[in-house]
């Protein structure tokens, strides 16, 4: 049964530049039907969490320019459930903002923070892991993150070094975090068996989280908690617009998790992908007999293998003799790019902006 003390904050303010040209500043990837199933990633994330708490306990933290998009994709939310950042100051300020808002709503609040654009294939196992985490954080002064059992030496993820012996049930003490290691180090991490991928899914009791901010990132609280009477009132947005840009721009990992000594993890396996790149989508989505992921209307493919193909449904697409490529047609932009070099797409968008202007970003 959903717990009325459980709250979820979905972080949905990013641009998703590695999914360009589908993901653009005006419509980032969390608002797109990337999987071709008729639902945006944000919508899928919201529905996933309904097994954990009622809809009125789910909040979305986003940039102010996306308020109307959030309302369009999640009409169940009230205006008070959409937290709009006036500036992009990384994740620590938005987590603190959410915690202060929830503290004013419910002093017993438990909070799950999660990204809006991840894939979870086994949702029942995911909710089971979250409930285990919430049981632990309810009883202990603990900051907990779900760790994903690594399947390859991926250099695009952060890693969690953890003690193999659990301290209670499935919960393990975290030793340290390592951000996006080089390949040789990632290979050593995988071989050791002592590391997990950091999925960026955090669980904590709000009072314990705010205590951690007071110990390790007090300067953020000093800004956001100066006038707490504004939270959950008609003056909240004006207050946030005024003070939020003055917060330190820093991730929750650097501000809190890497400094605290009460950090724990649950090693998990529930079919997770952060869906950070076109290649990760190719790995997770359904493939045809030639290992192609196809999101097309009418098409004729000959000698096409191991590609990701996306184009408007009303466009006939004909491709011959292509292997290991990303082809994304967004009408005003056509991207044809080697899948093996997809990490370069973010740099390409910078060049596009410099040469052609922001209208293509």
Per residue in 346-358, pLDDT (tens digit) is: 889 889 988 998 8
Please tell me whether residue 120 adopts helix, strand or coil conformation: strand
Task: Select, from the ranges 58-62, 164-168, 177-181, 196-200, the one with the highest average predicted confidence (pLDDT).
Answer: 58-62
- Overall average pLDDT of the 217-233 stretch: 97
Share of the chain above pLDDT 90, in %: 76
Q: What is the pLDDT of residues 118-176, one digit of tens each?
A: 989 899 999 999 999 999 999 999 999 999 988 888 888 889 999 999 999 999 999 99
CA distance 271 to 123: 8
| CA trace torsion 31, 32, 35, 36 (10° rounding) | 130
CA distance 5 to 147: 24
Position 95 scores a pLDDT of 97
Q: What is the pLDDT of residues 70-99, one digit of tens each?
A: 999 999 999 999 999 999 999 999 999 999
Share of the chain above pLDDT 70, in %: 99
Q: Does domain 6-273 have CATH number 2.60.40.10?
A: no
CATH 3.90.550.10 segments of the chain? 6-273
C-alpha separations of 337 from 136, 321, 325, 342, 348 in Å: 46, 14, 6, 7, 11
């Amino acid at each position: 049964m959903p717990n009325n003390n459980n709250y979820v904050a979905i972080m949905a303010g990013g641009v998703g530049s590695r999914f360009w040209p589908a993901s653009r500043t005006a419509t980032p990837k969390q608002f797109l039907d990337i999987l071709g199933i008729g639902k945006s990633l944000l919508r899928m994330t919201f529905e996933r969490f309904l097994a954990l708490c009622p809809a009125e306990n789910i909040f979305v933290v986003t940039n102010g320019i996306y308020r109307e998009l959030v309302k369009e994709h999640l009409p169940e939310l009230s205006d008070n459930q959409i937290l709009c950042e006036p500036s992009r100051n990384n994740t620590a300020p938005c987590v603190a903002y959410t915690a202060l808002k929830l503290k004013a709503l419910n002093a017993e609040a438990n909070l799950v923070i999660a990204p809006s654009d991840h894939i979870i294939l086994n949702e029942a196992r995911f909710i089971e892991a979250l409930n285990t985490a919430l049981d632990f954080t309810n009883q202990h002064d603990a900051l907990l993150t779900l760790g994903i059992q690594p399947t390859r030496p991926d250099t695009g993820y952060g890693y969690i070094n953890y003690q193999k012996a659990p301290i209670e049930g499935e919960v393990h003490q975290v030793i340290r975090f390592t951000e996006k290691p080089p390949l040789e180090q990632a290979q050593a991490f995988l071989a050791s068996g002592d590391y997990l991928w950091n999925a960026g899914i955090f669980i904590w009791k709000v009072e314990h989280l705010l205590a951690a901010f007071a110990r390790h990132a007090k300067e953020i609280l000093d800004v956001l908690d100066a006038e707490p009477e504004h939270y959950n009132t008609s003056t909240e947005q004006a207050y946030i617009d005024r003070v939020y840009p003055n917060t330190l721009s820093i991730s929750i990992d650097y501000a809190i998790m890497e400094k605290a000594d009460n950090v724990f993890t649950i090693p998990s396996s529930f079919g997770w992908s952060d869906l950070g790149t076109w290649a990760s989508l190719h790995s997770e989505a359904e493939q045809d007999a030639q290992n192609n992921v196809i999101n097309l209307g009418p098409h004729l493919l000959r000698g096409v293998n191991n590609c990701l193909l996306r184009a408007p449904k009303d466009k006939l697409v004909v491709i011959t003799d292509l292997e290991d490529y990303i082809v994304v047609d967004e009408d005003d932009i056509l991207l044809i790019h080697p899948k093996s070099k997809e990490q370069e797409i973010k740099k390409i968008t910078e060049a596009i902006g410099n040469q052609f202007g922001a209208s293509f970003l």
